[in-house]
Amino acid sequence: MNRLDTDVLILGSGGAGLFAALHAKAGAPDLAVTVAVKGLLGKCGCTRMVQGGYNVALAPGDSVERHFMDTIEGGKWLNDQELAWILVTVARERVRELENELGCFFDRNPDGTIHQKAFAGQTFDRTVHKGDLTGIEIINRLAEQVWARGIGRLEDHRAVALIKTRDGAAVAGVVMIDMRTGEFLFVRARAVLLATGGGPTMYRYHTPSGDKTCDGLAMALSAGLRLRDMEMVQFHPTGLLAGPETRMTGTVLEEGLRGYGAYLLDGEGRRFMTKTDKRGERATRDIVSRAMFAEMRNANTGPMGGLFLTMGHLDPVEVRRQFPGMVERCADCGFDLVSGLVEVVPTAHYMMGGVEFAPDCSTVLEGLYAAGEDTGGVHGANRLGGNGVANSTVFGGIAGDTLAKWTPKHGKFRDPDEAAIAAAEAECLKPLANPPGNLEDVRERLAQLMWDDAGIIRDRASLGRALNGLDELDKALDGVGVAGDDLAYNLAWHDWLNLKNLILVSKVIAAAALARDDSRGAHWRADFPATGDLETSTFTSARLVGGKIDVAMRPVKFTRVRPGESLIKESAAE
């Protein structure tokens, strides 16, 4: 196996990973910082795909207290309040950094102030954006800075295992596969940041980049770390339904469309959201997705089984001006967003759950840090649209600052557990020993199983079916081989590895959902539709023990505000 040493190894090149790399290098210029990415830096991942924008309290009449309360109430009081407070306060600093230091251009009002648009679930229009292509603007500027500052890159390298020291007390490095050659590489590092992003691509309809297969969460589980809130999978209400033969199906039509005034219509062309929530289409994503799913279950749908989004009642000139990317995307798929009907379906979008981590981005494993969608606790039971890219950039920067301070003083190269390295390599090579089989069948069965039994609406029976079905799929995958004559860019091999990670993380989602016997945010139990007592709220904490998922319920700590209270009132009283 090839070997490489670097002071800081960052897994992932989205907003979290690139911000961390820049902050680490700025804080400790002598550190060797390396970013490893499954694809090409700046060209893959989910931050680049962000359309809507970045939530931050900037305008008169808004405040961090108001943003915080929207985040906590949207999260149904399951958030780690210290993490949520960091999110809303540091976001103000980070958006200025994006503009003034990194060169991002966000849309402006006529008076020169930053324009902020409406997103669902918020009491103030606070979403900063660059048209409807905000993620491209952010990632392009971040990537330019990384390329310019001598930060190392391992492109087309996938991480497959976190390797600890022989005593298990600290992380020693990461086993990777160089996808260009198929060779294994062990990267020894004084500190490792997990920032691979989540990516619920185990569902029939999903939005994330195709390279997102929950690799970081699977590695964290295998390394013994706990994951919190894993039952909380967010479905975005408006995924494009372009037909079964295109990957465009499931991709997001951004929340700003509904914030601007778009309507959702049933199969007969009637609005239905006002029956469910007084906010109508601007209710939080979980509420809108459930209302849509109910209409779909009643077969009140369009020709492809979805519902309709329309902006035909709005000013067509403004629709084209404000949402050029969405208009073009719909046109590419044969839909007229400006004056016609676009068929849409709820689509798996984001994982509120992830690795348990501290405000400085450290984890319980010495030398291992985490940021972005690989982490849990910031969003609670439901992420507000616009809080995702804020999360990745806020905590990515914090992780970089922490790495710059911790690594020179406390980080050291540690001898890895060589047996664990060999075991990781052997596990990856397993499918090469079997005759090639049908990976697509496993993928289709996984997608349908998770959509039907562990998706938008769940119950004990469906989750039991999901867990049993996932065990069967895991065994079936172990029997499927791939051709191993040439391992360079062997996509079938990497598909096998992707599915292995997706099945493992799917088991955690289903197990956590079964353990939570109330309905909260993105998690809806048809057999327990009521929300439990907020004062005694608990979050799920899952880990892998002997190959099985163990889920504990832990109390939420109300460190800043309790249910029934509001920081907005307290701030006004002061």
| Biggest alpha carbon–alpha carbon distance for the chain | 71
DSSP 332-399: HTT--TTTSEEEEEEEEEEE--EE---TTSB-SSBTEEE-GGGB-SSSTT-PPTTHHHHHHHHHHHHH
3-state SS assignment for residue 488: coil
- What is the spatial distance between Cα 190 and Cα 170, in angstroms, rounded to a whole number? 10
Q: What is the DSSP letter of 528?
A: B
236 tagged catalytic = yes
As a residue count, the chain comes to 574
Q: Is 547 left (phi over 0), alpha (psi -120 to 50) or beta?
A: left
Contact 451, 235 (CB under 8 A): no
Q: Is 45 left (phi over 0), alpha (psi -120 to 50) or beta?
A: left
Encode 91-147 in three state secondary structure: HHHHHHHHHHCCCCCCCECCCCCECEECCCCCCCCCEECCCCCHHHHHHHHHHHHHH
- What is the spatial distance between Cα 208 and Cα 66, in angstroms, rounded to a whole number? 29
Residue identified by tokens 């902050």 is 23
Nearest partner of 252 among 53, 116, 393, 49, judged by Cα:
49
Relative to beta strand 368-370, strand 538-545 is unpaired
3-state SS assignment for residue 481: strand
Contact 16, 195 (CB under 8 A): yes
In the set 236, 379, 494, 520, the catalytic residue is: 236
204 tagged catalytic = no
Provide the edge-to-edge strand list for the sheet that holds 538-545: 354-355, 227-228, 538-545, 548-555
In the set 258, 349, 379, 523, the catalytic residue is: 258
Task: Give whole-number Cα distances, 240 to 123, 248, 264, 356, 509, in Å.
Answer: 27, 7, 13, 33, 25
Q: 435: how many CB neighbours lie within 10 A of its CB?
A: 9
- 154: number of CA atoms within 13 Å, CB side? 30
**One-letter identity of residue 318:** E
Question: What positions carry a catalytic annotation?
Answer: 236, 258
